[in-house]
A and B are shown apart, each in its own frame.
Chain A
Amino acid sequence: MSPVIDPLTLIFASIFTSNILLANFLGTCSFIAISKDVNSANGLGIAVIVVLVLSSVISWPLLHFILLPLNMIYLDLFVYIIVIAAVVQALEMIIERASPALYMSLGIYLPLIVANCAILGVVLFMEIRNYDFFQAAVFGFGSGVGWWLAIVAMAAMRKKIDKAPVPAGLQGPGITLITMGFMAMAFVGFSGILRVQ
């Protein structure tokens, strides 16, 4: 049985109250590595949104029409990983043919996404929370937008932090994590508005 959540609530929840990065810690590695400048943060964020929507839309029918009826649910991780890798590979080839300019700015981030836990995490949440097809698509999109929002905001903040006198031991990842903590607190503030798991 899929839960009864109206799509608008779900999209709001996945962007703000249960942000995939700040509430579930997914995609932290590439977040810290890429959030150094706004342009690449923006590029990676958009790539994550596209890959998230596509992989949740493709994984859902595979899960419900192949894995569950054939009782092969223990193979789910294999299927998801292959779907994600295939989506990334296909997207890379399509963008390269269709728009070389976009490929130049976005292409280098695509391989990074296979190792981004946010993608696999969203697909697994979709399975555990029993979303229906439409909910899965909306959840994928919302989570992607949440991640994009967080990384662009972070990249903008890091520009300022670079000029601040930070203790030597805290420079780099340390201060980034503390800033993320504050961002997480701000986003937690939204959870008073609605609660969706």
Chain B
Amino acid sequence: MSTPTFGFVTKENLRFNNPVLIQVLGICSTLAVTTKVLNTLIMTLAVSLVTAFASFTLSWIRNLIARRVRMIFQVLAITFYVVLFQLILNAFAPEVARSLGPYVGLIITNCIVMGRTESFAPANPPLISWWDGFTSGIGYMMVLLLMSLIREPLGFGTIADIPIFPKEFAGGGNNWTIAIMAPSAFFLVAIFIWVFKTDLLKKEAAAKAKKAAPPLPAGAAVAGGAR
């Protein structure tokens, strides 16, 4: 397999192979932080950077480690970057660190980090691996930010702690507690996946119809899409 280009990797990770919406990875530890926009931003940034640098490191030493002991190297490299991030966060933003609680540490077992360092990094050179890890994290960030932009206003009536709704609608005892509780996160991800996948399936069907019978008018492609 030849080395993929930067543009291809970007498109794959943000759209066609989005880690959350298509691969359904990495929802383990971080759905819990999407109740606040600010927490989400920091958390997803951490995941992007950790994935990027862990991929870089593991791709750099990929020819030095035997396949049998690869797993432990992976975990140790990931843990190293997570601890680094945690120390920086504790030093510069102790309040955010407290509200994120154990979830920063849980980046270690985030399936996206594990997945990228397992599948992409051992087969590709360091720089493109860094980019692959970073864009995977960005693909993840887009989805989670969208979720937090829905959950925080409904649950607390604020966006990034700035009130946007009047007290009568949310906050002041009338807030929609369900929006910041666990079930809403599951429903939201499911709805995102639904919309995204339906769109993808339609496009695939249209492409197939086009390929099968190129000279047919546009109506055929639409019919194929509706099927």
Contacts and interface: CB of A to CB of B under 8 A. Distances in A.
B223 interface: no
Contact of A124 (B87, B102, B181, B196): B102
B178 to A, nearest CB: 8
A174 interface: yes
Interface in B35-85: 71-72, 75-76, 79, 82-83
A104 interface: no
A114 B43 CA distance: 22
B187 A178 contact: yes
A32 interface: yes
B29 A170 contact: no
B193 to A, nearest CB: 4
A57 interface: no
A173 interface: yes
B186 interface: yes
Interface residues of B, number: 45
A134 interface: no
Interface stretch (B10-18, B106-114, B131-139, B160-168): B106-114
Interface string A60-87: 0000000000000011111001000100
B146 interface: no
A120 B105 contact: yes
A116 B190 CA distance: 21
B32 A74 contact: no
A5 B199 CA distance: 50
Given A29-B26, A77-B82, A177-B186, A117 B193 contact: no
B95 to A, nearest CB: 15
Contact of B183 (A127, A174, A184): A184
A77 B83 contact: yes
Nearest to A78: B79
Contacts of A128: 101-102
A28 interface: yes
A173 B110 CA distance: 18
A93 interface: no
B31 interface: yes
Interface stretch (A19-27, A47-55, A94-102, A141-149): A19-27
B61 to A, nearest CB: 18
B83 A167 contact: no
B197 interface: yes
Contacts of B183: 181-182, 184-185, 188
29 contacts: A22-B182, A23-B182, A25-B29, A25-B32, A25-B185, A26-B106, A28-B31, A29-B27, A32-B24, A74-B83, A74-B86, A75-B83, A77-B79, A114-B71, A117-B28, A119-B109, A120-B109, A121-B106, A128-B102, A168-B197, A168-B198, A169-B198, A170-B194, A174-B197, A177-B193, A178-B186, A178-B190, A184-B182, A188-B181
